[in-house]
Amino acid sequence: MCRLGGMPLLPFRWFLVLVGVFLASVGADFYFSLPVSTSAGAAAPERLSASDFLTAVAAGELSSGTVTYRLNGAGLADLAATRTRPGTTVGVQTTARLTDADLSLLRKNKFVEDDAAALDRMRPATWRERSAAVAHVAAQILGFLTLVVAILMGAFRYAARYTSFSTRQMRAATSSVKFSAVAGCDEAKDEVHEVVEFLKDPARFRVTGGRMPKGVLLVGPPGTGKTMLAKAVAGEAKAHFYSLSGSDFVELYVGVGASRVRALFKKARETAPSIIFIDEIDSIGRKRSSAEGGGSQQEHDQTLNALLVAMDGFDSEDAVVVFGATNRPDTMDRALLRPGRFDRQVSLSLPDLAGRIAILRAHAGAVKLDAGVDLPHLAKGTPGFSGADLANLLNEGAIHAARRRRATITTADLDEARDKINWGRETPRALTAGDKRIIAYHEAGHALVQVLSGDDTTRLHKVTIIPRGRSLGSTQFTPERDLYNHSREQLVARLRCLMAGRVAEELALGSITSGASCDIQEATRIARQMVFEWGMSPLGFMALTRSEGEAELASPQTLHDAEHHVKTLLAENYAATTAMVADARAALNAIAEDLIEHETISGDRARQMIAATLTPHV
């Protein structure tokens, strides 16, 4: 039985029955309204002209005549009589506008005069006419009822589209993912493993008075495996899994989100043990505004209030756990994050070297890798890659190998896939010899200063002047280890490496180009962070800025001095870079000429040329 606002509606099958009865009444009305056909034994009345009819009356051939006056005011009358001839008797009829002489003739031959309404009242109604009247009234009543019920059911179905989830969304799934399929986040797996144990054996924890967490908030950058981890918990605990997005609760009408929250938690309790996973939960869990808002703000607040009440309203013994995933925990409402709702926050960061190796090995089973592929070496060259990025890397490598019609994925395929992800696909451009020379010296300057800086945390991997994406060339580095802190020496080496492209152009070509725009922006960003955030300036141990949107921590004069220190830091290191490149001019020329000839050289080749051209005192 469907309901709309508390009013019960007929089930759909009864609506179909109502439609069927209505159609049957319409058919009966149509059938009984048809004129009765003349039986086979009776002759059809003969139609005469008015003059022939009156002539037959005058001749005495007609008897049992009637005159019926029409009520339309046109003066017409329907004449009917019986004509008797030797051996035959037939009915005749006509329609005429009668004169006084005609009326006298008809009255003389005893024609009965009356109007149509009086004759209709005098004639008794037949069973067919009574049935037609009943069917006509029934069709009108049933048609009205059918229309009303159809409108109500249409309104119900229209409202149901917005106030409830679809059948697919509310279908409890059984996850087949296990912890063994989730790599690169061992600490997070340890955090949520207790939830699995609680769902499997809650009595063991109740002995000590412990209770199962109602909610677990997974916090981390995109692609770090938050959804996979929630699925693994459901798979290990053999619990029903409901996976939704925060946007699934957001609709146009106020109150829809709250209704969906209540329906979801009701369904989860009915199918316990259950895990509710809400991805991007910050879309419904962000902080409530104290200002008066429009309909969207009211909808958000009502949805959040319903979620708060729902998470308070179920007990740990219900065996329902809510997993939320977000990469913006700072925007979440504090009432949602308190113990008793989301009891735990589990952080998933980008994987370190060991994590990347484990992730690559987990995904390598789905592709055909060549025996010569070194996954640890590949992991070392992918710092900052998430689990999703690494899976995409292997997929791009498989696509590249298939395009080259190879049966397995080689190291070259994976290197090409990494370059495509980082910088874009190779872009064929008609570069002039002058353009190639500018790009070659620019990239040679980056490579030269990186090698001369002696930074043991980063190793030169490759230098190329082949355009990729928006870049006309690139100098690629591979970190020797994961970096969690940056020393002042490392940052200075990074600044000089960024400046070296512009310095090489200026020294070798005598002019500068716009190709260093990205280098300038990055160097300025690093210098500002060194001065304003990390206290690496004469101002000392002092923070000058807060997070975005907050007030400054220093006076205008101090901020002016800080800007001066940023400019000084950049100028001093630019001068030092110029001196470094000038002293190794032979190495710069050698690398640039080799790039012009081959377009791409390896890091080992660049180091050999630098070592061969350095003067003994350097």
pLDDT at position 498 is 93
Q: What is the mean pLDDT of the chain?
A: 80
Q: What is the pLDDT confidence band of residue 275, given thresholds at 50, 70 and 90?
A: confident
When comparing pLDDT for 130 and 254, which is higher? 130
Q: Which fold has domain 173-347?
A: Rossmann fold (3.40.50)
Q: What angle do CA 301, 303, 306 make, to 5 degrees?
A: 105
Question: DSSP 3-state assignment of 241?
Answer: strand
CATH 3.40.718.10 fits 353-423, yes or no: no
| Pair type for strands 62-69 and 112-115 | parallel
Give me the mean pLDDT over the 316-330 stretch. 80
**61 given a catalytic annotation:** no
For residue 276, is pLDDT > 80?
yes
Give me the mean pLDDT over the 238-255 stretch. 72
- Other CB atoms within 10 Å distance of the CB of residue 57: 21
pLDDT in tens, 373-399: 888 888 888 888 888 889 999 999 999
Q: Which fold has domain 433-613?
A: Methane Monooxygenase Hydroxylase; Chain G, domain 1 (1.20.58)
Which residue is catalytic, options 443, 480, 506, 597?
Answer: 443
Give me the mean pLDDT over the 335-361 stretch. 85
Q: What is the pLDDT confidence band of residue 297, given thresholds at 50, 70 and 90?
A: low
Place of tokens 């913006």: 328
For residue 480, is pLDDT > 60?
yes
pLDDT in tens, 196-228: 888 777 777 777 777 777 888 888 888 888 888
pLDDT at position 207 is 77
Domain boundaries, given as residue ranges, for the chain: 1-36+45-163, 173-347, 353-423, 433-613
pLDDT at position 550 is 54
When comparing pLDDT for 591 and 155, which is higher? 591
Give me the mean pLDDT over the 255-264 stretch. 74
DSSP annotation string for 136-197: HHHHHHHHHHHHHHHHHHHHHHHHHHHHS--TTTTSPEE----GGG--S-HHHHHHHHHHHH
**Cα dihedral 312, 316, 317, 319 sign:** positive
pLDDT at position 255 is 59
| Pair type for strands 474-479 and 458-464 | antiparallel
| Pair type for strands 274-279 and 240-245 | parallel
Give me the mean pLDDT over the 504-516 stretch. 89
Give me the mean pLDDT over the 496-521 stretch. 91
Residue 240: φ, ψ to 5°: -70, 140
Residue 541 CB burial class (10 angstroms; 0-12, 13-18, ≥19): exposed
pLDDT at position 256 is 67
pLDDT in tens, 545-584: 765 545 567 788 888 888 999 999 999 999 999 999 999 9
DSSP annotation string for 253-269: STTHHHHHHHHHHHHHH
Q: Which fold has domain 1-36+45-163?
A: 3.30.720
pLDDT at position 617 is 39
- Which residue type does 152 have? L
Cα-atom radius of gyration of the chain, to the nearest Å?
46
- Euclidean distance between CA atoms 64 and 520, whole angstroms: 119
Q: What is the pLDDT confidence band of residue 293, given thresholds at 50, 70 and 90?
A: low
> Which residues make Cβ contacts (< 8 Å) with residue 69, sequence separation at least 6?
76, 77, 113, 114, 115, 116
Side by side, the strands of the sheet bearing 344-347 are: 173-174, 240-245, 274-279, 320-326, 215-219, 344-347
pLDDT at position 1 is 46
Please tell me which of 12-21, 79-88, 432-441, 452-461 the model is most confident about, judged by mean pLDDT.
432-441
pLDDT in tens, 35-78: 555 444 455 678 888 888 888 888 888 887 888 877 665 668 88
Give me the mean pLDDT over the 604-609 stretch. 89
DSSP-assigned beta bridge partners for residue 268: none
pLDDT at position 39 is 45
- Euclidean distance between CA atoms 341 and 323, whole angstroms: 11
pLDDT at position 158 is 61
pLDDT at position 559 is 87
pTM of the model: 0.66
For residue 274, is pLDDT > 90?
no
pLDDT at position 6 is 42
